[in-house]
Structure 1
Amino acid sequence: MEGLTLIGVSHRRGGIAALESWHDAFPESGLGERLGLVGVRAWALVATCNRWDVVLVRPAGVGLERVRSALTPARSTRKPYAYDGEAALEHLARVAASLESLNPGEDQIMRQVRDAYAAARAAGRGDAELAFAFDTALRLAKQVRREIALAPLHTSLFSLARADVEAALNGGAHAVVLGAGEMGGLAARALRSIPNVMLTIVNRGHERALGLAAKVEADVCDLEHFLAHPLEARVLVSAAPLRGRLERSVLERVAGLRLVVDLGIPRSVDPADAPEGVRILGVDGLREAGEARRAALVDRLADAERLLRSGLDEAVGAWNERALAPAIRALVEHYTQLVGDALPAHEAERLARAVARVPIKGLRAVAREHGLAAAATFLAETGLPRTPDLEASRGI
């Protein structure tokens, strides 16, 4: 697992401006060519309104900093965070389990991680190491969700805005959701659960909007029509990457508007463009509510951390055991050959296994504590005439 690497930025560790910068600089459509310049062929992108993370496998001889530099926008004054080996696996598992989310326990991220890996496989960008990382992260995330009650079902980033939304609606009014994707759907369902709310779904694609509207009993409006002829609304939720299209001139024509919840990346509205009496609540503004939830969940989050750590230890141990299997066989064969014909075959093998027990135990300990590269060095010191290539075992 020496080549497993995770590089990215998140709202919690960089802020909204950094997220926009990385989303703009490295869209998925051009990322493969960029990574190909440094020899990376296996990778998956987890890009959401809360993070931009690339999980990849570095080829032998390609250093972490080289890949990190390739994934840093030109003229950027900051670098993305970077993890490799077991640390990369741990971070991916934390992301999938929503422990790194702005709203801990939210449902959406596990599906987004699963979809990211499915897209990588469909595009031929997977390998055994990447498969191990995502399979392990998703399995542990499911276990955390099943055993630790972090949040109710359908909790999302929008859930952090619910109190502000209810206050703005003040017992019932018209709300508009821009976007009919997953986040738009979560926002629409949350709004539908508020009594006396009239709801409209605005989207570019009419069929998708109709599908969501049927589920939440909402009206439908085309995006371009809405921007030209805004509807009356007390609350406007942007769950689509509209990149500044909710200009002041649009918002001023939304009769009765009190609150805009902007969940899009890039942002749909510039807070400086807010008309008088209209509050813009973006992802930055939701951070305080997210940290308050995190503080309230401190004990349960600690339980989730322990569960995750235990599962990671077990998974990494199993991975190392598979990678070490050829070396362990070679050790036993080496000592069996040293005994030669002095003993019957079954006695020779039994003695060889007994003699090999100590170096095998040391090999496993070195691999667990210091990685397969260190284990390969340890193995070379055993005096084996043919030392198995542990690096080649990365492709198991």
Structure 2
Amino acid sequence: MNIVMLGLNHKTAPVEVREALAVSGSDMTAALTRLRALPISEGVLLSTCNRSEVYAVVDDPAGVDGALVDYFLGLALALHGRELTREQLLPYLYRRHGLEAVQHLFRVAAGLDSMIIGETQILGQVRNAHRDAVQAQTVGKVMHQLFHQAITVGKRAQTETRIGQSAVSVSYAAVELARKVFRSLEGRRCLAIGAGETAKLTLRHLLSAGVREPIVANRTLDRAESLVREIGGRAIPLDKVPEALSEVDVVISSTGAPGYVVTRQQVEEAVRARRGRPIFLFDIAVPRDIDPAVAQVAGAYLYDIDDLEAVISANLAERAQEARKVERIIAGELERFRQWAASLAVVPTIRMLREKIDAIREQELARTFNRLPDLTDHQREVIAAMTVTLINKILNDPTQQLKGMAGEGSASQAIETVHRLFDLQRHRAEPAVENGSAP
């Protein structure tokens, strides 16, 4: 019994191929139903906008690859009407086997394999993939353990390191910089100039940080009103920006205008109207929306795209440093999983040993009770319970020793010895997870 993973992601496949294999929530049940038809004993499908991966427990690692490739081809056709050939798909696929598959999932859950290192959304997607597989009844003992530990890795990466705590997008960097300036954005007001995706994302970050009643200005008022309906606030035409400047503490500008949308004179007038209260302006447009001379106005603080990129570069370097800490967490959890998987090899022997000794216990209890017919039911229960406790205590040390030896990779001889000493039926148990590629 082995763990195998086959899949593709943003590093190996273009977006049109990833789209062909993407499985939305409404299609997940059908996709997992198809998974049950494969020659696997357990399986989980992890599908996001950036990756599609199948994790499976199989008896024959070498013989399952073709079935998994056909599975992906079937999904593309059934869910998206995309008729891909094996030759078209194979160059984009990667395969992991044994502990390499386990390590890969741990890195995915920790955000180390993401487009942006340390992003936290993937952990929820790993959790959902396991939940969906549980509901579809495609998981068993091994996949439960694997995904529970992967989720633990992701949680530890977030709580024990700073891998996901520094801003690595322009919009989020602007918000984080504003938060540092004001210490808290709770109750602050902001103006977004522009109503595109960057403005929307930045406003969402600001609202989650406590900003209230955002103002959205756009050359096309309909677009500003559409964004306001989605997130709240007030929409104004672009020519009302000079008046709005005096009302807000933070300005985020991200239009595609050819000239300056905010001038030095407008900011000077806004600062006078604010009576000494500072205003912070973030120009994340290229070409720039805000006249660079605004930086010379007392009480106005201007940051442009280069300032934000410098923050992002420093934060990416910090994430790379934190990634090394995450790798150490993964190494420890990987060893813990290896020991757990190796211990499965001795489970059949432990079970047979317990079954044989319990059968002997039952026989001897029956003989004893026959010789002592005057015992009450309570006395019989006490004696029976005592024999169970006795057996558990006797078998505890050998059981733990066998599991420990399995974790060290030296259980084969001990298993053979136990079978001979107790005359157990021979049962050859293969290791649960091999290290490396399939033979």
Normalising by structure 2, what TM-score? 0.51
Answer whether contact 1:68 1:80 (CA < 8 A) is retained: no
1:366 aligned residue: 409
**Would the aligned equivalents of 2:161 and 2:322 in 1 still touch at CA under 8 Å?**
yes
Report if the CA contact (8 A) 2:44-2:56 is conserved.
no
Task: Determine if contact 1:363/1:378 at 8 Å carries over to the other structure.
Answer: no
- Residue 372 of structure 1: aligned partner: none
Q: For residue 21 of structure 1, what is the aligned residue in structure 2?
A: 17
CA contact (8 A) 1:45 1:52 kept: no
Residues 331 and 356 in structure 1, CA contact (< 8 A), matched pair in contact too: no
Query: Is 2:205 the partner of 1:190?
Result: yes
> Which residue of 2 is the match for residue 213 of structure 1?
231
1:129 is matched by which residue type in structure 2?
Answer: V
1:270 maps to: none
Q: Which amino acid aligns with 1:60?
A: D
Give me the identity figure in percent.
19
Inter-CA distance 356–165: structure 2 relative to 1 (3 Å threshold): closer
Hey, what's the Cα distance between the residues in 1 that align with 2:48 and 2:399? 50
CA-to-aligned-CA distance 1:31-85 (integer Å, 9 cap, x gap): 3465345334743333333x32324323424634234433365232504112233
Compared CA separation, residues 163 and 379, structure 1 to 2 (3 A): same
Pair 1:387-2:426 in alignment: yes
Shift of 1:305: 0.7
Secondary structure of residue in 2 paired with 1:82: strand
Q: What is the aligned counterpart of 1:313 among 300, 317, 335?
A: 335
Counterpart AA for 2:319 = L
Give the conservation status (yes or no) of the 8 Å contact 2:216–2:234: yes
String of CA shifts for 1:145-187, please: whole Å, max 9, x gaps.
111112328x6x7x25657999xxxx95122349xxxxx9865
3-state secondary structure, aligned to 1:9: strand
Partner of 1:244: none
2:8 corresponds to 1:9: yes
Counterpart AA for 1:122? Q
Task: Give distance in 2, aligned partners of 1:27 and 1:7.
Answer: 15
Report how many aligned residue pairs link the two structures.
Answer: 298
**Structure 1 residue 330: deviation in Å?**
4.3
CA distance in 2, matches of 1:113, 1:87: 17
CA deviations 1:92-112 (Å, max 9, x no partner) are: 121111111222222211112
Distance in 1, Cα, partners of 2:334 & 2:229: 40
Match of 2:130 in 1: 117
Alpha-carbon separation, structure 1, partners of 2:401 and 2:126: 41
Deviation digits for residues 185-228 of structure 1, max 9, x if unmatched?
A: 8654236579986289xxxxxxxx999624xx477xxxxxxxxx
Shift of the 85–218 alpha-carbon distance from structure 1 to 2, 3 Å rule, reads farther
Shift of 1:364: 3.8
1:301 equivalenced with 2:319 (yes/no)? no
- CA distance in structure 2 between the partners assigned to 1:83 and 1:212 by the alignment: 43
- Counterpart residue identity of residue 205, structure 2: A
The answer to whether the Cα contact below 8 Å between 2:344 and 2:431 also exists between their aligned partners in 1 is no
8 Å Cα contact 1:44/1:55 also seen in 2: yes
Pair 1:128 & 2:141 matched: yes
Partner of 2:39, secondary structure, is coil
Q: Give the 3-state SS of the residue equivalent to 1:137 in structure 2.
A: helix
CA distance in structure 2 between the partners assigned to 1:34 and 1:349 by the alignment: 43
- Which protein has the larger Cα radius of gyration, Structure 1 or Structure 2? 2
Q: Counterpart of 1:198 in 2: which secondary structure?
A: strand
Counterpart pick for 2:193 among 160, 173, 176: 173
Higher helix share: 2
Match of 2:78 in 1: none
The residue identity in structure 2 corresponding to 1:43 is: G
8 Å Cα contact 1:140/1:308 also seen in 2: yes
**1:60 and 2:73 are equivalent in the alignment:** no
Change (3 A) 1:24 1:117: same
Whether the aligned pair in 1 keeps the contact of 2:18 and 2:52 (CA below 8 Å) is no
Task: Specify the alignment match of 1:39 in structure 2.
Answer: 39
Does the 8 Å contact 1:150/1:300 carry over to 2? Answer: yes
